[in-house]
């Protein structure tokens, strides 16, 4: 993959950054060019698509959109604190998208594009210094000037706040320099490819230093950033409202007077609100409802493959809790990789996705999307569905069949249907799967403590592949709930994180996937699609591969 999917062809030759940017490019791939399902794939720019095809929506046409109106978006879960430093919920990103612009953004092909920066960053030859040029004449919603000092204040807050959710994303950032008001230089302790991916997410959202000074830890009570809209009101557990910001540098592109996110956790209620016109947009449409909504000529359904995955995790060494040194667990399935491989051979992913999700989600066998520039035949190698082989492996492992396994899973209807289908499936391969459904918060607790044999959970995905792998399988990594440790894998992942060469990263990730499939501590099952439905009275609504609903430049049709 020699052609990097970035808009600026004449980048200075600054190697780590290229790697970082290339990392970001994965997403392109994931969504824009990904023929994941048979005969499907490709992109669509709008309109209703059949299952398996991506459609991201199109920008609003100024000639056919009227100014004014309040857009209501039915949201499936409540965002947490509206503070870019503290926010941990994916849903907060939907709200931030309208009121907190970032240094960089991703477009529908998941290419990194400048937002508050004027160009892609340049990196020094040793890879330890990243320079970012900033926009001029930009003001925060409180009227104060946006400049390099604001960027410095924001990044330093990300790094120093005790509850910061951004610190780990910023990796080895050592400090920030501001040679002038329009230039920011980020110093790194070592080259760090995933940095730009982070700056195209919440770590790159710049907060008003004045508001930070006044509000401190209460910034979320009245957040102030640069954005098309500014914060107006929040009714806890119910709604969040933003109104048009006259200070925004590109205010002429904004059509709506305001946006309201209304939290409606039930998918059928969201669909009903969409149909009744009480909401114009609904996120996380259920795969069960997609067909009916696509039939409705007044509605459009956007869909794109997510960057994450859903999988099964075996507990093979988590005794003292996540992050602690792995210990031996006295269970054959924890000690013998053959039994876990047998389990994987017993799974028919295609049938599973078809039966449970109407074929809308895509099969997945590794954390790397098939269309990624980092993908390789090794990374896409998929253990076949072979119940006979599963039984043979169980015999080789010397265990009695049916081999009993208990799976811990969330008690949501979708997950239950998934694990019930799995239960029927693996029986043929010689497994007796028992289901232990628990409520989500309890599930998180049990998984971190290591109180499980097998569990079903997923990851929403990030634009850099490192963020989708290392934290989950690296030795003692913060989310390695399997208690898995393979020093050879750790080496590969560290090299991939630091190298600038895409071919090299590709090769390293291919080797990593081979190791992952040999050890089978984590079995990847499928990749979700982001499903968003909206009324045809709205134009310009877009959902890119990062899954964020982009409504800031949408408008009502004239």
Partner 1 sequence: MARYLITRAWQSALTLLLSTIVVFLGVRALPGDPALALAGEDRSPEALEAIRHHYGLDQPLPLQFVRYVGRAAQGDFGESIRTGIPVSSMLTTALPVTVELAILAILLAAALGVGAGVLAAVRRGHPAEWLANGLALVGLSVPHFWLALLAILYLSVATGLFPASGFVPLLDNPVDNLHHLILPAVILGTGLAAIIMRQTRSAMLDSLSSDYVRTAKAKGLRPRAVITHHALRNSLIVVVTIVGLQLGGLISGAVVTEQIFGLPGFGKMTIDAVFQRDYPVIQAVVLLTATAYIVINFLVDLLYSVIDPRIRVTGDPA
Q: Say how many C-beta atoms besides its own lie within 10 A of residue 297's C-beta.
A: 8
Binding mask 487-526 for partner 1 (x = CB under 8 A): ----------------------------------------
Taking CB under 8 A as the binding criterion, the range among 108-116, 150-158, 261-269, 501-509 that sits at the site for partner 1 is 261-269
Among 218, 396, 432, 491, binds partner 1 (CB under 8 A): 218
What is d(CA 309, CA 528) in angstroms, rounded to the nearest whole number? 7
Block residue for tokens 């590969």: 492
Minimum distance, C-beta of residue 472 to partner 1, in the bound complex (Å): 11
Minimum distance, C-beta of residue 535 to partner 1, in the bound complex (Å): 13
Minimum distance, C-beta of residue 74 to partner 1, in the bound complex (Å): 8
Block residue for tokens 């919603």: 141
Taking CB under 8 A as the binding criterion, the range among 176-184, 234-242, 387-395, 397-405 that sits at the site for partner 1 is 234-242
What is d(CA 241, CA 72) in angstroms, rounded to the nearest whole number? 9
Count of residues engaged in binding partner 1, rule: CB under 8 A:
56
Per CB under 8 A, contacts with partner 1 among 324-383 are: none
> Quick one: 108 or 466, whose CB is closer to partner 1?
466
Binding mask 443-482 for partner 1 (x = CB under 8 A): -xxx-x----------xx-----------------xx---
Minimum distance, C-beta of residue 44 to partner 1, in the bound complex (Å): 28
What is the side-by-side strand order in the sheet with 183-188?
A: 122-123, 129-133, 183-188, 173-180
Minimum distance, C-beta of residue 247 to partner 1, in the bound complex (Å): 26
Exposure string for 452-470, b = 16+ CB within 10 A, e = fewer: bbbbbbbbebbbbbbbbbb
Taking CB under 8 A as the binding criterion, the range among 86-94, 115-123, 139-147, 372-380 that sits at the site for partner 1 is 86-94
Do the bridges between strand 281-282 and strand 299-305 make them parallel or antiparallel, or are there none, so unpaired? unpaired
> Quick one: 425 or 469, whose CB is closer to partner 1?
469
Angle at 317 between CA 316 and CA 318, to 5 degrees: 110
Secondary structure (3-state) at 20: helix
Both structure tokens of 518: 């040999």
> Quick one: 238 or 406, whose CB is closer to partner 1?
238
Among 63, 162, 213, 252, binds partner 1 (CB under 8 A): 162
Q: Is 102 in the site for partner 1 (CB under 8 A)?
A: no
Minimum distance, C-beta of residue 80 to partner 1, in the bound complex (Å): 6
Among 74, 207, 454, 492, binds partner 1 (CB under 8 A): 74
Residues 6+ apart with CB under 8 A from 316: 326, 329, 334, 335, 340, 482, 483, 484, 521
HSE toward the beta carbon, residue 548, CA cutoff 13 A? 25
What is the side-by-side strand order in the sheet with 65-66?
A: 65-66, 555-557, 538-539
How many helices, marked H, and strands, marked E, lie in the chain? 17, 26
Secondary structure (3-state) at 369: coil
Minimum distance, C-beta of residue 441 to partner 1, in the bound complex (Å): 3
Q: Which of 220, 195, 194, 188 shows the shortest CA–CA distance to 207?
A: 220
Q: Is 93 in the site for partner 1 (CB under 8 A)?
A: no
Q: Is 269 in the site for partner 1 (CB under 8 A)?
A: yes
Both structure tokens of 423: 């239960």
Q: Is 417 in the site for partner 1 (CB under 8 A)?
A: no
Minimum distance, C-beta of residue 279 to partner 1, in the bound complex (Å): 7
Minimum distance, C-beta of residue 408 to partner 1, in the bound complex (Å): 12
Taking CB under 8 A as the binding criterion, the range among 137-145, 159-167, 336-344, 509-517 that sits at the site for partner 1 is 159-167
Exposure string for 36-60, b = 16+ CB within 10 A, e = fewer: bbeebbebbeeebbebbbbbbbebb
Angle at 7 between CA 204 and CA 367, to 5 degrees: 65
> In Å, what is the CA distance from 124 to each residue of 16, 24, 193, 305, 357?
8, 19, 13, 34, 47
Minimum distance, C-beta of residue 373 to partner 1, in the bound complex (Å): 24
What is the side-by-side strand order in the sheet with 403-410?
A: 362-363, 522-527, 309-314, 454-459, 403-410, 431-438
Q: Is 276 in the site for partner 1 (CB under 8 A)?
A: yes
Minimum distance, C-beta of residue 167 to partner 1, in the bound complex (Å): 8
HSE toward the beta carbon, residue 15, CA cutoff 13 A? 14
> Quick one: 7 or 327, whose CB is closer to partner 1?
327
Q: Is 439 in the site for partner 1 (CB under 8 A)?
A: yes
Per CB under 8 A, contacts with partner 1 among 167-206 are: 167-169
Exposure string for 71-94, b = 16+ CB within 10 A, e = fewer: bbbbbbebbebbbbbbbeebbbbb
Taking CB under 8 A as the binding criterion, the range among 43-51, 110-118, 269-277, 507-515 that sits at the site for partner 1 is 269-277
Strand ranges in 210-367 using DSSP code E only, listed in sequence order: 229-235, 239-244, 258-263, 281-282, 299-305, 309-314, 362-363
> Quick one: 113 or 269, whose CB is closer to partner 1?
269
Taking CB under 8 A as the binding criterion, the range among 113-121, 263-271, 352-360, 371-379 that sits at the site for partner 1 is 263-271
Contact positions vs partner 1 (CB under 8 A)? 72, 74, 78, 80-81, 83, 86, 88-90, 162-165, 167-169, 217-218, 220-221, 234-239, 262-266, 268-269, 272-273, 275-279, 322-323, 438-442, 444-446, 448, 459-460, 478-479
């Amino acid at each position: 993959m020699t052609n990097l999917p970035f808009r600026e062809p004449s980048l200075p030759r600054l190697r780590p950054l290229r790697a970082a940017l290339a990392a970001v490019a994965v997403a392109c791939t994931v969504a824009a060019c990904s023929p994941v399902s048979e005969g499907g794939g490709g992109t669509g720019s709008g309109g209703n698509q059949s299952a398996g095809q991506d459609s991201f929506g199109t920008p609003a046409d100024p000639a056919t959109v009227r100014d004014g109106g309040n857009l209501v978006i039915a949201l499936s879960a409540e965002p947490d604190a509206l503070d870019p430093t503290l926010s941990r919920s994916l849903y907060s990103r939907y709200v931030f998208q309208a009121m907190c612009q970032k240094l960089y953004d991703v477009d529908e092909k998941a290419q990194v594009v400048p937002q508050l920066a004027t160009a892609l960053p340049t990196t020094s030859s040793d890879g330890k210094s990243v320079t970012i040029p900033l926009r001029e004449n930009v003001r925060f919603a409180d009227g104060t000037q946006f400049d390099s000092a604001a960027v410095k204040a924001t990044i330093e807050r990300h790094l120093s706040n005790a509850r910061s959710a951004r610190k780990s994303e910023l990796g080895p950032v050592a400090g920030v320099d501001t040679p002038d008001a329009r230039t920011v230089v980020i110093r790194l302790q070592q080259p760090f490819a995933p940095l730009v991916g982070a700056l195209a997410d919440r770590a790159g959202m710049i907060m008003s230093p004045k508001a930070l000074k006044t509000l401190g830890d209460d910034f979320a009570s009245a957040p102030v950033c640069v954005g098309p809209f500014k914060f107006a009101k929040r009714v806890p557990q119910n709604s969040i409202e933003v109104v048009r910001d006259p200070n925004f540098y590109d205010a002429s592109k904004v059509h709506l007077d305001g946006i309201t996110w209304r939290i409606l956790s039930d998918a059928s209620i969201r669909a009903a609100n969409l149909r009744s016109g009480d909401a114009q947009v609904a996120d996380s449409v259920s795969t069960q409802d997609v067909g009916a909504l696509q039939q409705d000529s007044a509605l459009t359904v956007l869909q794109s493959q997510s960057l994450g995955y859903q999988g099964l995790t075996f507990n093979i060494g988590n005794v003292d809790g996540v992050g602690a040194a792995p210990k031996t667990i006295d269970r054959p399935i924890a000690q013998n990789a053959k039994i876990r491989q047998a389990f994987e051979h017993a799974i028919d992913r295609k049938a599973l996705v078809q039966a449970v999700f109407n074929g809308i989600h895509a099969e997945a066998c590794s954390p790397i999307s098939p269309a990624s520039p980092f993908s390789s035949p090794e990374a896409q190698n998929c253990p076949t569905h072979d119940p006979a082989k599963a039984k043979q492996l169980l015999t080789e492992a010397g265990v009695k069949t049916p081999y009993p396994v208990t799976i811990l899973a969330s008690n949501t209807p979708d997950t239950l249907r998934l694990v019930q289908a799995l239960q029927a499936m693996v029986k043929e391969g010689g497994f007796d799967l028992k289901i232990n459904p628990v409520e989500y918060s309890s599930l998180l607790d049990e998984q971190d403590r290591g109180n499980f044999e097998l569990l079903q959970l997923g990851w929403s995905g990030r634009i850099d592949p490192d963020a989708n792998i290392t934290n989950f399988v690296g030795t003692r990594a913060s989310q390695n709930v399997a208690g898995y440790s393979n020093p050879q894998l750790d080496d590969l992942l560290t090299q991939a994180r630091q190298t600038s060469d895409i071919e090299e990263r590709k090769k390293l990730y291919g080797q990593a996937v081979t190791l992952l499939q040999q050890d089978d501590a984590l079995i990847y099952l499928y990749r979700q699609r982001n499903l968003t439905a909206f009324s045809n009275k709205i134009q310009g609504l877009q959902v890119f591969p990062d899954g964020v609903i982009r409504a800031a430049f949408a408008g009502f049709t004239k």
